[in-house]
Amino acid sequence: MTKTTLTKAIQKRVNEGEKAFIPYIMGGDGSLTEQILFLQEAGATAIEVGIPFSDPVADGPTIQRAGERALEKGATLRTILEELKGIRNEVKIPLVIMTYINPILSYGIDAFAQACAKSGVYGLIVPDVPLEENEMLKDAFQETDVSLVPLVSLTSPPDRIEKIVAAGEGFIYAVTVNGITGVRDGFDDYLEKHLNQLKRISSVSVLAGFGISTPEQVKSLGALVDGVIVGSAIVEAFHQKELEKIRELVAASKKKVLN
C-alpha cells in the first residue's frame, strides 16, 4: 500500500506557506483524548503519541517523568491504542506512535501493525531499531498506511544518512542535538549545514526535533526545514495546565509569524 496520509498532511501545510508542527505528548499522562482534541483544535499538523516505557533511551528528564506518571496510572501500548481507536472518528489529523521495540514485541508485531491501522495511526517512530534491523517492521506494515519514520542524528556519516533517508517514509526526523530530548538554550553551529543536507537528498519532508521549546526556536529552526516537532515543552505545559504556552508554540509555525 502507498503510504500517503502523513506525507500529504505535512505537504499540505508546507504548500500553504506555513510550517508543519507536530507536538509530542505522553500517552497516559493526563487525558490523552483531551490533549489530542486540544492540539487538533490549536492547529497541529499531526500528533506524536509517546508510549510509556521503563527504559527510554532517547527521552530526557521531562518526558521520563511523564512516562513514569503514565506507568503508575497503568498506561500501556494496548490501553493507549484502544483509546485512540475509540476517538478515531473525532481525530482529523494523523497520529504518530513513538515507542520502543520491546512493547511492540510483547504486543506482537503483526497484531500491533493491524491495531495501528485501526486506530488512526499513520506514522511510527522506534528509536532503538536501527536501519539494519528495520525489515521486521517493514514487512508487518507493508499493507498499511502507517509510515515508518526514521531518525537521523547529527553524528551519522554521509553515506549512512543517504541510506536512512532513502528508506524513510512520512517524513525525516532530523535530530537537532547530540543526546536525549529536553529543553535547550541553543544548537550546534553545524546544525544548519546538517539540515540543508537532509533537505537536498530527501524526497519526503524534513522536520527538526529534540530541544525545541520556544516560539523563537520553532520559527528559526522551522525556517530551515519543513516543520518542527516539540516534545518536552508540550508535555510540561500540559502537566502544568499552561495551555496558552502550547497555543503560542503552534502559532509560531504559522505563516503570519514566519513572514
Q: Which residues are catalytic?
A: 48, 59
Cell numbers for 27 = 500517552
- Exposure class string for 54-86: b at 16+ Cβ within 10 A, else e: eebebbbebbbbbbebbbeeebbbebbbebbee
What span, in angstroms and rounded, lies between the C-alpha atoms of 40 and 211?
22
H or E element, residue 146: none
Beta bridge partners of 96: 48, 123
Which among 25, 24, 22 has a CA at the least distance from the CA of 206?
A: 22
